Amino acid sequence: MLTALAITPYTATILIHADTARYHLETPVSWRLEGTAQRGVSHIVPVFIEDLEPDTDYVLVAGQQTVGFRTAPCAGLIEAADYGVCVDTPNNAMAFAAAVAAVPRGGTLRVPNGRLASGPVFLKSDMTLWLPEGAILSAISDRNGWPVLPAHDDSGRVIGTWEGLPAASFASPVTAIGCDNLTITGRGTLDGGGDRGDWWTWPKETRDGARRPRALFLAHCTQTILSGMTVRNSASWTVHPFCCDRLTAAALRIKNPADSPNTDGFDPESCMHVQVRGLHISVGDDCIAVKAGKRGTGDDPRVDHIAPTRHLTIANCLMEDGHGAVVMGSEMSGDITDVDITRCEFKGTDRGLRIKTRRGRGGHVARIAMDDVVMDSVGTALAVNAFYFCDADGKSATVQSRAPAPVDDTTPQISDITISNVQLRGVRHAAGAFLGLPEAPVCGLRLSNITVEYDATATAGDTLMACHLPPVSHAGFLHRFTEIDADAPLIHMLEDLIDVG
């Protein structure tokens, strides 16, 4: 089956065999776009095509199948080069601002080829930003005079955020606040500049009164398409949609060095109705990290900023080399529910599917389903941890005690997790490790049709990032304070997760 997805005026994403393949196709598929010279051979599910004509019918042929689609209309194509955007300018931010202002409603801004140095570019509603192949929008290295997003705007909306709390943050190289009907597309590259300047030397600090920027930040946006481009070298989280509704991310490549600090790949936070399809992510932290805000503590117990993430689909994606492949939390105070992960590949990540929280967070993680996933060379394949030792008090007795604590609105709840048809190859530490709270056990965890092969050379290592747990290797499904419903072949792999010390 062929699926036309993320159709814009000048680009389209076509998914080949997305209903049966994961990210890689079993056999290469030749394709062609009828009436054009565009053709190729795809080894992967997502095929991204650009240089199309707006408001035009096309038919793509792949193997013996066809799919028709019509590109979106365009109210006018604006060339950024006509407003002074060029490779010879040390900072194109002002030229980009003029070019964005010139885009008519429903129009497109095309970025010229070459490496284009710039400070933050701010987008607006009802426009397409087209980064064609050969265009590199590259963040400047000097943060002097870099714009800062305050924690709240004049209307009280959160627009500056850091790890689930309102906080002043440097604007991102591409920033969109309150934009409707926004598209960012093209085979070009957004380079966040994290490898330049000093961004990676102060990962948890504040400089000049602000936190580090993301590469692409979207806040309070509706009807957004992100497709085709490569996003790399982010200063912190890479692509961060915050309080967005109806967002499609398709055929993106997200790349950060393995040792870059806190450079999560794709972090939908407090978002609704999000489709993530055909992404390839390799980063220095979690590949996809689903967030829902963090409850304040101590002298600042604020909760008015938290909001849920609901109805998220992750399909036909490849996650490599990060700390976790698909992760929920640890910022999950506003609830994370109704997440479907299907037909994906995880390779070399420390953990595969990971849910992490702790006392004090509150919120629910519920109705999470993973089906038809292959994991290769993963440390702990399935991890659920309600004792995650984040924050300054994360290793305190209050957080880490295994004695039951009182249940209140700060007690996190985890329920209804369904994992089926999963192949685990080269597992190093454990097929699964599940640690709930004694006062709020994980309930409704269902495991079925999971095959496990171990890495015979692996040594013992950490499963969950919680205190009092021994390092292990080649373990089955370790559990404590967790209710598990497993099919018969998996029953013999259930083991008690015992504390030490």
Q: Which tokens go with 484?
A: 């598990």
147-203 pLDDT, tens digit each: 999 999 999 999 999 999 999 999 999 999 999 999 999 999 999 999 999 999 999
User: The tokens of 365 are what?
Assistant: 């993680």
Peptide bond into 270 cis (omega under 30): no
Answer yes or no: is pLDDT of 288 > 80: yes
**Is there a contact between 333 and 303 (Cβ–Cβ < 8 Å)?**
yes
Largest pairwise CA distance in the chain:
70
The CA-based dihedral angle spanning residues 22, 26, 28, 32, taken in that order and rounded to the nearest 10 degrees: -50
pLDDT, tens digit, 9 for 90 and up, residues 238-252:
999 999 999 999 999
Structure tokens at 140: 């400047």
Catalytic entry in 245, 285, 335, 376: 285
Residue 456 has pLDDT above 90, yes or no: yes
| Residue 198, strand partner residues | none
What is the rounded CA–CA span in Å between residue 385 and residue 395?
Answer: 14
Amino acid symbol at 230: T
* pLDDT for res 296: 87
What pLDDT shows up at residue 64?
92
153 labelled catalytic: no
Q: Is the pLDDT of residue 372 over 90?
A: yes
* pLDDT score of 298: 74
| pLDDT confidence band for 299 (50 / 70 / 90) | confident
By the 8 A CB rule, do 349 and 311 touch?
A: no
Task: Report the mean per-residue pLDDT for the chain.
Answer: 97
In whole angstroms, give the CA distance from residue 324 to residue 286: 5
Which pLDDT band holds residue 21 (cuts at 50, 70, 90)?
very high
pLDDT in tens, 386-401: 999 988 899 999 999 9
Given a cut of 90, whether residue 301 has pLDDT beyond it is no
**Number of neighbours of residue 115 by Cβ within 10 angstroms:** 12
pLDDT tens-place string over residues 335-352: 999 999 999 999 999 999
User: Model confidence over 48-73: pLDDT tens digits?
Assistant: 999 999 999 999 999 999 999 999 99
Cα separation, 350 vs 111, whole angstroms: 37
Q: What torsion, rounded to 10 degrees, do the Cα atoms 135, 139, 140, 141 define?
A: -130
**Tens digits of per-residue pLDDT, 90-148?**
999 999 999 999 999 999 999 999 999 999 999 999 999 999 999 999 999 999 999 99
Looking at this protein, which amino acid is placed at residue 336? I
Predicted confidence band of residue 302 (pLDDT cuts 50, 70, 90): confident
Strands 121-122 and 216-219: unpaired
Per-residue exposure over 26-42, b if at least 16 CB sit within 10 Å of its own CB, e if not: eeebebebeeeeeeeeb
Instruction: Identify the structural domains of the chain with CATH numbers, from first to last.
Output: 2-70 (2.60.40.10), 77-353+378-407 (2.160.20.10)
Asked about 285 being catalytic, the answer comes back as yes
Give the count of alpha carbons within 13 A of 270, CB side only. 25
Among the listed residues 240, 280, 323, 364, the single catalytic one is: 323
